Amino acid sequence: MNKVRKTKELDHYLKNIINKVPDKIENFINNKDGEFSMTYYEGNWAKDVYDNFTEIQAGKIFKRMEKFRDKAKFVQKKLAPFTDAEGIKWTGYEYKVARF
């Protein structure tokens, strides 16, 4: 009997953005002469990570992000809901990191 492999329908554009977030934050923290704060993601961070990666991959992303916890301040702000051209209602958050 052949095993059927379950796969997720991935958003490759979003997956690419998520993969770059830890490096983007690390560069922000290491650039001491840069801006005080930076928006690193807009959407629903945890949901988007789990929707586009396996649990093991998601765990690795969260572990990479955890190492920044003591080096910067993380905040999120709820974005105003909006409706796209197809009539789909969207809502999410703006995720920021700041130096302290």
Q: How far is CA 75 from CA 36, 56, 88, 97, in A?
A: 13, 25, 27, 6
The rounded distance, in Å, linking the Cα atoms of 22 and 97 is 11
Residue 58 near residue 50 (C-beta atoms within 8 A): yes
pLDDT at 8: 59
pLDDT in tens, the chain (100 residues): 556 545 556 789 999 999 999 999 999 999 989 899 999 999 999 999 999 999 999 999 999 999 999 999 999 999 999 898 999 888 899 999 998 7
Please, which residues have CB within 8 angstroms of residue 84's CB and are 6 or more apart in sequence? 90
d(CA 82, CA 42): 13
Q: How would you write 4-30 as a 3-class SS string?
A: CCCCCCCCHHHHHHHHHHHHHHHHHHH
pTM of the full structure: 0.81
- What local confidence, expressed as pLDDT, does residue 90 receive? 87
